[in-house]
Structure 1
Amino acid sequence: MADPIRLLLADDHAVVRSGLRLLLEAQPDMVIIGEAENGADAIRRTAELRPDVVLMDIAMPGMNGIEATRRIKADSPRTAVLALTMYEDDQYFFEMLRAGAAGYVPKRAAPDELASAIRAVSRGDVFLYPSLAGRLVQDYLLRRDVEEHEPPADDLTPREQEVLTLIAQGLSNGEIGEQLVISAKTVDRHRENIMRKVNLHNRVDLVKYALRKGLIDLEE
């Protein structure tokens, strides 16, 4: 018989952890080896216990589940993180996936769906709740359509790429000018040229464009 799946429960509500323990300990192939009540505690307990799967809530006091997931995956890459949360909006969904979560299940899911998700991520697969998986496909198709029709970064001069990168990093025109040893007025002229060439009209869209083209990454 295969070893049971070793689980760590990370949720700031004791009643939720108790309910999960009752539910999952009834599964013959699962065992609860620890609990955590916040993100920092989840990181510490994961380092101590090396669970196969961490069931991670998102909204917890102190460090949230997104940052905890990012750190757990950096320190314990073999541990799978499964988001189990009440949040079903796109922001949290995509942030958890970018942080390294292998699955995302809403707390309204049926018990057998949660058990299936745990088994899937424990063997290295990805599990996305059906309604959320559809959003991932839609996001991919939208990104693909945008990328197919937008100008490549190579259309920008090297100086414009430098300016765009610094804009995307949140620097003001004055700060960019100081870093590149040019005037703020010259920076503004470069920004206008960039927007015209890539057909974008505000800073948020420029940041997204810089991300898609690899000029900056999410860790910066």
Structure 2
Amino acid sequence: MEAVRVVLADDHPIVLAGVREVIERDARFVVVGEARNSSELVQLCTDVRPDIVITDYNMPGDRAYGDGIKLIDYLRRHFPDTRILILTMLSNNLILSSLYDLGVSGVILKNGDLNEILVALAALSQGRTYRGPGMQSGSSVATNRDDIGARIASLSVKEFEVLRHFVSGMTVGEIAEHLKRSVKTVSAQKIAAMRKLDVDSDQALLLFCIKANLFQ
């Protein structure tokens, strides 16, 4: 049987080496390329048309492809036969669950056991979606809306994306250009996120995200 062809994408060489080492233990899979940014990943997908892409969610992008939602959307539209497995440090279960709505086939947490990758690859290669032990149903989110975790969980995936870029230092205008949304839309999503997190200023928003380790 022909091995399942996998492309890896992460901006940390140590992560790439670790994931490759795990995959190479199983003859069912073969790594056919590695990328350290979005442009390299898209070029690899164009050149080798892998069966599965394993990519970090937060990864240095560019104006053409970005990362996060923008990159996932591009990959889904241009490489519909390639299944996407997200490897991430994000810990918000509702946001992680929302990634499945964007079309990803599996999510694995970086702080878990990397051997889980083989289990996920087996599921994806059989046409199944993978939800590992690190993933919880959105219905399990705490109902106490005053709790920090519950407030974070109330964010939509698009609001979360806007916050991620805002915390990285981008202005609303720059985020709008990067995500190909209008300034009005991004501003409204940022305001909605601030309301859900119960903060009333940019400084308070930044402080909340830092204390909550929202984008570690």
Q: Is the TM-score greater than 0.5? A: yes
Q: Say if 2:102 is the partner of 1:103.
A: no
User: For the residues of structure 2 that align with 1:131 and 1:24, how far apart are their CA atoms?
Assistant: 20
Partner of 2:16: 17
Give me the TM-score of the superposition, normalised by structure 2.
Answer: 0.60
Segments of 4+ moved more than 6 angstroms: none
Residues 9, 110 of structure 1: alpha-carbon distance in 2 compared, 3 angstrom cutoff: same
Q: Which amino acid aligns with 1:136?
A: G
Are 1:49 and 2:48 an aligned pair? yes
Structure 2 equivalent of residue 59 of structure 1: 58
**Contact between 1:56 and 1:65, CA under 8 Å: does it hold in 2?**
no
| Mapping 1:193-204, distance limit 5 Å | 204=192
Which residue is 1:217 aligned to?
A: none
Aligned equivalents of 1:40 and 1:96: distance in 2?
Answer: 21
Unaligned ranges ≥5, structure 2:
142-183, 194-216
Supply the AA of the counterpart residue of 1:124: G
Distance in structure 1 (CA, Å) of the matches to 2:14 and 2:91: 21
Q: Equivalents in 1 of 2:129, 2:50: separation in Å?
A: 17
SS at match of 1:130: coil
Higher relative contact order (CA 8 A, sep 6+): 2
1:56 is displaced (CA, Å) by 1.0
In structure 2, what is the equivalent of residue 37 of structure 1?
Answer: 36
- Per the alignment, do residues 97 and 40 of structure 1 end up closer, same or farther by CA in structure 2, a change over 3 Å counting? farther
The 1:11–1:171 alpha-carbon spacing in structure 2 relative to 1, beyond 3 Å, is closer
Cα displacement (A) at 1:110? 2.1
Partner-residue secondary structure (3-state), 2:5 = strand
Contact 2:97 2:137 in 1 (8 A): no
1:182-201 correspondence to structure 2 within 5 Å: none
Give the equivalent residue in structure 2 for 1:161: none
Q: Distance in 1 between matches of 2:39 and 2:99?
A: 16
Change beyond 3 A, Cα 1:169–1:11: closer
| Aligned CA distance change for structure 1 residues 24 and 131 (closer, same or farther; 3 Å) | closer
Q: CA deviation at 1:89?
A: 1.2
Provide the rounded CA distance (Å) in 2 between the counterparts of 1:37 and 1:92: 24
Contact 1:39-1:67 within 8 A present in 2 as well = no
What's the Cα RMSD here? 2.8
In 2, are the aligned partners of 1:42 and 1:68 still within 8 Å (CA)? Answer: no
CA distance in 2, matches of 1:137, 1:119: 27
Aligned to 2:3: 4
Aligned length, in residue pairs: 147
Deviations 1:64-92 (A, max 9, x none): 24322211111111110000111121464
1:95, CA displacement in angstroms? 4.5
TM-score (norm 1): 0.59
* Post-superposition CA distance 1:120-175 (Å, at most 9, x none): 1122111112241x223547xxxxxxxxxxxxxxxxxxxxxxxxxxxx96899xxx
What's 2:90 paired with?
87
Deviation at 1:23, TM superposition (A): 1.6
Where 1:17 maps in the other structure, the secondary structure is helix
Aligned AA (1:89)? N
